[in-house]
Amino acid sequence: MQILIVEDEEKIANFLRRGLIEETYAVDIAGDGEDALYKFEINEYDLIILDLMIPKVDGITVCQKIREINTNIPILILTAKDATEDKIKGLDAGADDYVTKPFSFAELSARVRALLRRGKKADPAILTIDNLSLDPATRIAKRGNRTITLTAREYALLEYFMRNPNRVLTKIELLEHVWDYNYDGLSNVLETYVKYLRKKLKVHPGEKELIHTMRGSGYIFR
């Protein structure tokens, strides 16, 4: 899942980025409102964390402009402005949640998970394909009665597949949403993790293959 952090305080932005990457999210940072709107225009994000007091274009305006384009993407305002009227203004501008600084990262992370569970298209609380289920709240995957043990990156890849079933996902899209946008590791990292997932998802001969390679295009989960 790919998150855009809009924050002009470098220390806070880097703190958030490190914490979210540890929780397997891919993260971009925008230091001002203009950069935020540009990145939003050229990338596909799953959630936005937005400060209100940012240069060039203020956070309320950024929120309103994003909502004019996309009514579904979750927006979480993270700001030092804690007055009731500021909260009302932020929520009325289209934000889904409002957190004030100073903040607990554990609480922020829980709110991010809650917004992502809601999803851009009202995804169900528990994702299900065939007899495979994934609970984003607990990060537990099961196929039938069998619990599947996943690493953090395997979980992130499976969650993105299951939130986008029956759709061809390109390698670039998967790398952007599951790994960091600026990921510059080995070119075969995606193929390696798809291989790991396939082995864990299909243990018994009678189980269906769920991850299908679309040669020259990417993968489809069905």
**What's the pLDDT tens digit per position in 79-119?**
999 999 999 999 999 999 999 999 999 999 999 999 988 76
Q: What is the mean pLDDT of residues 153-162?
A: 94
Model confidence, pTM:
0.74
Which domain covers residue 37, as residue numbers? 2-118
Q: Do 114 and 134 fall into the same domain? A: no
Q: Do 70 and 165 fall into the same domain? A: no
Q: Do 99 and 207 fall into the same domain? A: no
Q: Do 93 and 194 fall into the same domain? A: no
Q: Do 212 and 109 fall into the same domain? A: no
Predicted confidence band of residue 183 (pLDDT cuts 50, 70, 90): low
Rounded-to-integer distance, Cα 89 and Cα 37, Å: 19
Domain endpoint, select from 63, 98, 118: 118
The rounded radius of gyration (Å) of the Cα atoms in the chain is 18
More reliable by pLDDT, 8 or 175: 8
Q: Do 63 and 103 fall into the same domain? A: yes
Predicted confidence band of residue 188 (pLDDT cuts 50, 70, 90): confident
Q: Do 28 and 88 fall into the same domain? A: yes
**Alpha carbons within 13 A on the beta-carbon side of 123:** 27
Predicted confidence band of residue 61 (pLDDT cuts 50, 70, 90): very high
Domain endpoint, select from 72, 101, 118: 118
* CATH number of the domain that residue 148 is part of: 1.10.10.10
Rounded-to-integer distance, Cα 97 and Cα 216, Å: 40
Domain endpoint, select from 59, 87, 118: 118
Predicted confidence band of residue 134 (pLDDT cuts 50, 70, 90): very high
Rounded-to-integer distance, Cα 168 and Cα 153, Å: 20
Rounded-to-integer distance, Cα 157 and Cα 220, Å: 12
Q: Do 13 and 97 fall into the same domain? A: yes
Q: Do 135 and 54 fall into the same domain? A: no
Average pLDDT of the chain? 92
Cis-peptide into 102, omega within 30 deg: yes
Rounded-to-integer distance, Cα 120 and Cα 74, Å: 7
- Domain total of the chain: 2
Q: Do 168 and 189 fall into the same domain? A: yes
* CATH number of the domain that residue 90 is part of: 3.40.50.2300
Rounded-to-integer distance, Cα 212 and Cα 67, Å: 35
Question: Coil, strand or helix: which one is 116?
Answer: helix
The pLDDT of residue 96 is 96
Q: Do 14 and 112 fall into the same domain? A: yes
Q: Do 68 and 91 fall into the same domain? A: yes
Greatest alpha-carbon span in the chain: 60
Please check whether residue 54 is in contact with residue 34, taking contact to mean a CB–CB distance below 8 angstroms. Answer: no
